[in-house]
Amino acid sequence: MNSVNRRLVLAGIISLSIVAAACGSSSKTASTSAPTTLPTAATTTPGAAATTAPAGAATTEAAPTTTAGATVDFSKLSGSIVGSGATFPKGFYDDAIATLAGIAPDLKVEYGGGGSGKGRSDLQAQVVDFAGTDGVVKDADKAGYKGGDFVYVPTVIAPITMSYNLPSVPKLQLSATSISAIFQRTITKWNDPLIVADNPGVTLPSTDIVVARRADGSGTTENFTKFLNAAAGPDAGGDWKLASGSEVTWPDGTQAGDGNSGVAQIVSSTEGAIGYVDLSDAKAAKLTFALVKNKAGKYIEPTLEATTAAAENAKINDDLTFFLGWADGDAAYPIAAQTWMIAYVKQADPAKAAAIRGFLTYLLTDGQKAAAAIDYAPLPAALQAKALANIAKIGA
């Protein structure tokens, strides 16, 4: 099943769930699958109140999995947890939440988008139980997190595409120099000599370039601008002047969209447009995307394999933060990106802590198996093990 059809199925499951909740349905069907394991801090059976599973979703028993501690049966998880944040991995999270609902019918998990900046702000203010972010928390902001220390839990990796709308150009190549000039609006036509130099033998139109970028505080923006800063910034001998961050001051004349899907919509509906969009949303919107020149001088397609190639050379910090962009290697896609869930180490309620650990553990174990089908690359095994150890730190 491709990612677009899978999302349609998920939408149907979610819609049925809403209807079932409105009708007060609580029926469950027999299950067939096996239990899994939670990290050490978890209790085997969290004791929060039960919630209703999505209507029509079969209840399954997951097999116990041992990671860094006690075994837990996912089907015994219960309670209600809420998160918000990054839209880059939202397709993966939505898929995992819908699948887990059939295994753990008494656990209700909600995840809203809004961008990495919103997720970090919501967690800082303790509005949510966990947050999705594609960028790290600034040291200066850590003291403002009301719940104290938190952990980074990497979940998946994926490429950020250079999606464009030029019907007469089915294959486009772009260097960091060209991308920098496009997004700073120093070039405004598709047949500019900089882009022509990237595409020998290709007839490029004189169409105006329309730049589509994020309106919200975004980890996708942060990773994209960090790539440009590394590849075309002053230290690299380039002229990228906007630095990097989840929000930057874009030039006049750019168009802003909310979330990756908002940028994708602008590109899809505007001839001459180009925007940075995660692979999952780009494919869902049926966008065309460019090959991007990497550090080794190769023009690389934004594939999961090329993202994994970038991850092979990543330096992982002790807190599990890292940056995949502008990686070494002939096969590495240069705008590969990472994403994390972050959650407080100390929770006020043991049952809530167990529910958070259970959900995050599912993302890092069974959930990884579905990643590639929805255009995300699973974590390397060594990083997965370290992430599970970070989950084990969450307790009450």
Q: What are 361-384's pLDDT values in tens digits?
A: 999 999 999 999 999 999 999 999
Within-domain flag for 396: no
Give the chain's mean pLDDT. Answer: 86
- Asked if the model's pLDDT at residue 135 lies above 50, the reply is yes
40 belongs to a structural domain: yes
Total of domains in the chain: 2
Residues 151 and 165 in one domain: no
Rounded to an integer, what is the distance from CA 52 to the centroid of its chain?
A: 27
Distance CA 95, CA 83 (A): 15
Q: Which comes out higher in pLDDT, residue 53 or 330?
A: 330
pLDDT at 37 over 80: no
210-214/273-278 β-pairing: parallel
Q: For residues 51 and 365, what is the distance between their CA atoms, to the nearest angstrom?
A: 23
| Confidence class for position 50, pLDDT limits 50, 70, 90 | very low
- Above 60 in pLDDT, residue 13? no
CATH code of the domain covering residue 178:
3.40.190.10
Asked, for residue 77, whether it belongs to a domain, the answer is yes
pTM: 0.80
Same domain, 265 and 116: no
Mean pLDDT of 174-197: 98
Residues 23 and 119 both lie in one domain: yes
In a domain, 139, yes or no: yes
- Are the CB atoms for 33 and 6 separated by under 8 Å? no
Q: What percent of the chain has pLDDT over 70?
A: 82
Asked whether residue 199 falls in the same domain as residue 325, the answer is yes
